[in-house]
């Protein structure tokens, strides 16, 4: 029997027959199944890449209520140019008359040795067993690729719906930061907003840190981080469906606090050491393990661990670039807020 497309003139003359024959020939495309939460390490790249077309179409077609189309059809370079970050002064007050792109904020050089200080958030997501979801940043990430870190690390942005730019007096709710966290958990890990309700996030504290990405690029690294980082914790009681984006995440792993301590210790001096993001190490050394050990309290509204502090720390020595000098103070890379100087 010849294909109906060899008889196109006759088929097209009868539109109903054309669609009927097309329906008979149609076969559903294979699609990757969602990754269900498991307590062991899962590699995200190979399975996702093998059927990227199917997943891309599913991602773009799905439209949960309030879900943003952020990141669809964009690569790392695109987001470097299009993401407009929230530059802040030393007191974390937004500088609204100086909008900086993600690229501008993360460029490190002798003229800009710590980039531009901006807002960020770090999400610590726990399952019902009290295990934290770790992620390994994808190899395609421009800053700090292939390092292990907490569940999700990113930035609130200007021009987003819902609004992600909080006033500094929005403590402790910080609704904009939480909206940003929901957006990026969806973008990076495929977590549905219904599994991470806005009201279930708990803000605890902020850290002001900087780090040059010398482990990737050497002592003259052109990229780095300089952030006032909001720590957000959330626990999901049920099964979480994960669909990691290989442009963002290389591997995932659920760990207990003791397992994370062992992983961090075993990485020191090992020939097969696991690299950790400098912000994650800094946070865990300055309260992270304490909050985890008292998770029920940390997740309460009005938790005793919630505060308005902004704790500053310098990076480990290996994250210091050739242009980072001992004479540089905490205000290096922090823009002045002309509207609120006093």
Q: What angle do CA 32, 38, 141 make, to 5 degrees?
A: 65
Largest CA distance in the chain: 84
Rounded distance, CA 318 to CA 213, Å?
Answer: 9
68: region left, alpha or beta (phi > 0 left; psi from -120 to 50 alpha): beta
Is residue 153 part of the annotated active site? The answer reads: yes
Rounded distance, CA 210 to CA 207, Å?
Answer: 10
Rounded distance, CA 257 to CA 287, Å?
Answer: 13
Determine the 3-state secondary structure of 208 from DSSP: strand
From the candidates 44, 131, 152, 153, give the one annotated as an active-site residue: 153
Is residue 236 part of the annotated active site? The answer reads: no
From the candidates 131, 164, 188, 227, give the one annotated as an active-site residue: 227
Pairing assessment for the beta strands 132-137 and 148-149 based on DSSP bridges = antiparallel
Rounded distance, CA 324 to CA 326, Å?
Answer: 7
Query: Distance from CA of residue 255 to its chain's centroid?
Result: 18
Determine the 3-state secondary structure of 44 from DSSP: coil
Decide if 271 contacts 211 (C-beta within 8 A): no
Query: What are the Cα distances from residue 168, in Å, to 93, 150, 153, 308?
Result: 6, 24, 20, 10
The residues carrying an active-site annotation are: 153, 227
């Amino acid at each position: 029997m010849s294909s109906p497309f060899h008889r196109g003139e006759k088929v097209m003359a009868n539109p109903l027959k054309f669609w009927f024959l097309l329906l008979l020939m149609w076969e559903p495309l294979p699609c990757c199944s969602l990754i269900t939460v498991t307590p062991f390490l899962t590699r995200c790249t190979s399975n996702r890449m093998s059927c990227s077309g199917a997943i891309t179409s599913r991602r773009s077609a799905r439209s949960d209520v309030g879900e943003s189309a952020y990141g669809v059809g964009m690569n790392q370079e695109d987001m470097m140019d299009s993401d407009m970050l929230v530059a802040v002064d030393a007191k974390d007050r937004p500088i609204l008359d100086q909008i900086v792109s993600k690229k501008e904020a993360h460029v490190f050089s002798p003229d800009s040795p710590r980039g531009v200080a901006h807002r960020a958030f770090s999400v610590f997501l726990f399952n019902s067993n009290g295990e934290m979801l770790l992620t390994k940043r994808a190899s395609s990430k421009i800053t700090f690729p292939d390092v292990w870190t907490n569940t999700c690390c990113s930035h609130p942005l200007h021009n987003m719906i819902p609004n992600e730019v909080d006033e500094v007096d929005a403590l402790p709710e910080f609704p904009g930061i939480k909206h940003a966290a929901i957006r990026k958990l969806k973008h990076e890990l495929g977590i549905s907003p219904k599994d991470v309700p806005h009201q279930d996030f708990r803000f605890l504290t902020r850290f002001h840190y900087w780090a040059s990405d010398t482990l990737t690029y050497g002592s003259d690294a052109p990229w780095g981080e300089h952030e006032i980082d909001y720590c957000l914790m959330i626990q999901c009681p049920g099964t979480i469906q994960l669909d990691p984006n290989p442009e963002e995440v290389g591997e995932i792993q659920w760990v207990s606090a003791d397992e994370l301590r062992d992983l961090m210790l075993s990485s020191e001096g090992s020939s097969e050491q696991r690299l950790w993001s400098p912000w994650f190490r800094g946070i865990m050394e300055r309260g992270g393990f304490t909050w985890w050990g008292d998770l029920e309290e940390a997740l309460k509204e009005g938790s005793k661990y919630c505060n308005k502090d902004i704790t500053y720390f310098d990076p480990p020595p290996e994250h210091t670039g050739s242009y980072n000098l001992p004479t540089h103070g905490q205000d290096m890379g922090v823009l002045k807020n002309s509207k609120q100087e006093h």
